[in-house]
Amino acid sequence: GNSVTQMEGPVTLSEEAFLTINCTYTATGYPSLFWYVQYPGEGLQLLLKATKADDKGSNKGFEATYRKETTSFHLEKGSVQVSDSAVYFCALSSGGYNKLIFGAGTRLAVHP
């Protein structure tokens, strides 16, 4: 079946450091890929998405590229801020109903 695997957290970085959170997936067909972010005490927010191979999603300085050959969708940011501290979820959707399958989430803590 379809599944998503994320690197385990927590990831602890200093402000302005480079961020990578790894995400790999297993899926039949051609899924769409997403990164959602959950700030403390808030609901899930869509951060970025990519719908086909080699697409790059980007938002708020975050980027991820849909790599079909490595079945990966790694999240990157060149310079993190304290306000980026949150839990990040990688997800895929496939099939006609677009239900999402999530990874376990990766907690990011950014210190000044």
Q: Among residues 61 and 95, whose Cβ is nearest to another protein?
A: 95
70, 90, 102, 96: which is closest to 2 by C-alpha? Answer: 102
Residue type, 3: S
Q: Could you tell me the smallest distance in angstroms from the CB atom of residue 90 to another protein? A: 8
53, 45, 34, 59: which is closest to 87 by C-alpha? Answer: 45
List 43, 69, 70, 112, residue binding another protein (CB under 8 A): 43
Cβ atoms of residues 45 and 36 within 8 Å = yes
**Cβ contacts of 41 within 8 Å, gap of 6 or more:** none
Q: Could you tell me the smallest distance in angstroms from the CB atom of residue 112 to another protein? A: 26
List 14, 54, 104, 111, residue binding another protein (CB under 8 A): 104
Q: Among residues 72 and 93, whose Cβ is nearest to another protein?
A: 93
If one asks whether residue 101 binds another protein (CB under 8 A), the answer comes out as yes
Structure tokens at 20: 């990578």
Measured distance CA(41)–CA(16) in Å, rounded:
24
If one asks whether residue 57 binds another protein (CB under 8 A), the answer comes out as no
If one asks whether residue 42 binds another protein (CB under 8 A), the answer comes out as yes
- Residues of this chain that bind another protein (CB under 8 A): 4, 32, 34, 36, 42-46, 49, 51, 89, 91, 93, 97-105
